Amino acid sequence: MRALYTAATGMMAQELNVEVISNNIANMRTTGFKRQRAEFQDLLYQSLRRVGTVTSDQGTRLPVGLDIGAGVKVVGTPRIMTQGNVLQTEKQLDVAIRGEGLFRIQMPDGRIAYTRAGSFEIDAEGRLVTPEGFVVDPVITIPQDAASITINQQGVVQVQQTGQTAPTELGQLQLARFVNKSGLEPIGDNLFLETASSGAPQPGNPGTDGIGTLLQGHLEQANVNPVTEVSDLIAAQRAYSMNARVITAADEMLQATAQMLR
Amino acid sequence: MENALLVGLSRQVTLRRELDVIANNLANLGTSGFKGENVLFEQFLASGAREDNFESPLDRQIAFVIDRETRTDLSQGAFEQTGSALDVAIDGEGFFVIETPQGDRYTRAGGFSINATGELVTAAGYRVLGEAGPIVVDPNDTNIAIARDGTISTPAGERGKIRLVRFENPSQLTKFGDNLFSSETPPNPIDPRTRVVQGSIEKSNVRPILEIGRMIEVTRAYTTLANLMSRSDELRQAAIERLAEVPA
């Protein structure tokens, strides 16, 4: 019975769908998280009667064929890169991006990773780092005697040093953008890597060339909408049980066949 | 005597295929742009034996059943708002044109993305065709807007128009897998009333309640036939036993 295997593909696809949805819900409060969606496609079809086959000497043709599909597959889990809500935190090293672009982060192994999560800290050497201690690129070193740090919309970092009236400019935060930001590879820790399908990063200062602006003292929330996730979860669960019912139905039919022989 | 068995068998074979089709519909309950299918049956008349072998004109024809075609239900599926700028749903009749290595294919699944070179592509990576070839956006483009007629524009200017087509006879479309349809006849331009909706995706048009109902019907019909066939088998068995009894 082909129906058994077809329904099994449906169950597997819905299982993966539930996994994707549960990951979205689990990361509902993750800074800079972008939700994913499972994208399905139908599998190949078996033509039992091909459309357009000549059916008589008069040249009449079959208007419609008899095609039986083999189920469903998951083609990908594209990331929806829409802007998340911006939440005020009043922490001076929290930076949210409004618009396009990602922060560049130097990984310990020398690679460059990208992130939307702008909750930065200062390490022992005064450098701006992520909560894991990875250095933000370009490196910004904050002097020991800095009283207050200001990051403006264009990414210019300034400090007020004790005993001085004029602020000192420390450097410029840069962002990178990608033509296909959904094609970035997630590596966990809110970080992404460049891939062959994301395109090359195009660095630039915030507020220029279509890159978004920065907002100090704020963090970008996950773009997960709990209501849609929960309704998607219900739909996925129901689809799963319906496919399970098909297996039961196929089983009943096989049983009826088996009982014909007595 | 065998006829009851064979007629029953012909129906059972088609019922199994119908369940296969239902299984495929239900498996694709979450596939965007998927169009459900129905199996149509027809009577297939066959004489019990060659007429000229018989003198009697009362020789009846026996009706078998065969499955003639699977008809794709091309009705509109529900729209789901996704918020993604590159998700496009067609409101009305029509298809997107997708360039594949095997030639142009057609789809209603509008969950597109942009590849590394800035081209609009499907989830499988095939290019979406515009009125003037593939649609390419500039790497610096932001805020991609897709108008109701399919024109793609960014603050920097127009980037092309999504090509939409329709078919004179949509029933000749065959499913190609990957949410794509293939056609033997060239497409026609769409009705200007057909609109596209940005930020939405057309869901599968499979109606689960209907499918489950059909599934119950299929299993019940199958079991009934199985019973009927074993009854007629018993009947024959009894007949053989009785008729073979030699009175002592």
Contact B191, B92 (CB under 8 A): yes
* Separation CA B175–CA B188 (nearest Å): 19
User: Tell me: the pLDDT tens digits for A113-169?
Assistant: 999 999 999 999 989 999 999 999 889 998 888 888 999 999 999 998 888 888 888
**What pLDDT does B171 receive?**
81
**Closest-CA residue of chain A to B35:** A42
Those residues of chain A that have pLDDT short of 70 are 261-262
**What pLDDT does A147 receive?**
83
B130-134 own/partner pairs: CB under 8 Å, 24+ apart: B130/B160, B130/B161, B130/B162, B130/B163, B131/B160, B131/B161, B131/B162, B131/B163, B132/B160, B132/B161, B134/B99
Q: Which residues contact B122 (CB under 8 A, 6 or more apart)?
A: B98, B107, B109, B111, B112, B113, B128, B178, B179
Contact A136, A169 (CB under 8 A): no
Least Cα distance to B22 among B207, B149, B197, B224 occurs for B207
A47-85 in b/e form (b: 16+ CB < 10 A) is eebebeeeeeeeeeebebbbbbbbbbbbbbbbbbbebbe
Residues A65, B69: C-beta atoms closer than 8 Å: yes
**What pLDDT does A229 receive?**
93
Q: A126: distance to nearest CA of chain B, Å?
A: 34
Concatenated DSSP letters of B82-139: ---TTBEEEESS-EEEEEETTEEEEES--B-EE-TTSBEE-TTSPEEEETTEE-B--T
Per-residue pLDDT tens digits of chain B, which is 248 residues long? 567 888 888 889 999 999 999 999 999 998 999 999 988 888 877 655 555 555 555 556 778 888 878 888 889 999 988 888 889 999 988 999 999 999 999 999 988 988 888 889 998 889 999 988 888 888 777 778 899 988 998 888 888 899 999 998 888 888 888 899 998 888 998 888 889 999 999 999 999 999 999 999 999 999 999 998 888 888 888 999 998 888 76
Task: Please report residues of B whose CB lies closer than 8 A to that of A37.
Answer: 82, 111
Checking ipTM against 0.85, whether it exceeds it is: no
Task: Please report residues of B whose CB lies closer than 8 A to that of A198.
Answer: 116
Using a cut of 0.90, tell me whether the model's pTM lies above it: no
Residues A3, B20: C-beta atoms closer than 8 Å: yes
Pick the residue of A4, A83, A180, A238 with the most B CBs within 10 A to test the interface with B by mutation.
A180
Residues B171, A1: C-beta atoms closer than 8 Å: no
**Closest-CA residue of chain A to B66:** A66
Query: Which amino acid makes up residue B149?
Result: D
Contact B33, B89 (CB under 8 A): no
